[in-house]
Amino acid sequence: MNIFCIGRNYVEHAKELGNEVPEEPVIFIKPHTSLLKDSSSFYYPSFTKDLHYECELVLKICKQGKNIDENEARGYYDQITLGIDFTARDVQNELKTKGLPWEKAKAWDDAAVVGRWKSLAVDTDCENIGFTMIKNGQPVQKGNSAQMINSFDKIISHISIYFSLHPGDLIFTGTPAGVGSCVVGDVFEGLYENESLFNLKVN
Ligand code: ZN
């Protein structure tokens, strides 16, 4: 199982981190070991002093494919949830400055959190899905798939140019503006429209 992630897929988020808006999707991968298995056992990692949350819509692939046409991409995912792409921002900034890969900042054990899966009906309007990240009872990120630079179908098509997709693969589709630091004791809740899909405490 592979976990693909898209970076800088919302204009306002790219700007808040001082990044340029990319011309094509930015792709990075987290290993299967980065998937948090038990939502009650997330711990603040020892190697960072600036752990950031990034709430994202996450797709699950249901069909094997390679070089998938954008017009046919909808047939390759059938479940969706909300997740957190946890990022050691201080580590990432240092790596970016040196032009080095991001894995130490984003691909560590438990850095990928996913909520409860929902099946995605074929007639769901995937370009108008609203979601909210709640931190300690206050909304900190509000996003909608309508704001994404690259749609789900565009992302699937682009990833599949380079990587074959397989059932069970996950795709983190990027985070909207409002990312920020967290500390031990913070509690995060992800709302898909108005439905709570995850609840996570930083231990
Ligand atoms: Zn992200």
- CATH code, domain carrying 84: 3.90.850.10
Q: What is the mean pLDDT of the chain?
A: 96
Give 14's pLDDT tier (boundaries 50, 70, 90): confident
Look at residue 158 in the predicted model and tell me its pLDDT.
98
C-alpha of residue 69 to centroid of ligand 1, in Å: 24
- Whether residue 41 lies inside any domain: the answer is no
C-alpha of residue 193 to centroid of ligand 1, in Å: 19
The candidate with the shortest Cα–Cα distance to 8, out of 185, 125, 176, is: 176
pLDDT single digits (tens) 34-73? 999 998 899 999 999 999 999 999 999 999 999 999 999 9
3-state SS, residue 142: strand
pTM: 0.97
Could you tell me the residue range of the domain that residue 185 belongs to?
3-36+48-201
CA atoms within 13 A on the CB side of 24: 7
C-alpha of residue 174 to centroid of ligand 1, in Å: 5
Average pLDDT of the residues in 115-130: 94
**How many structural domains is the chain composed of?**
1
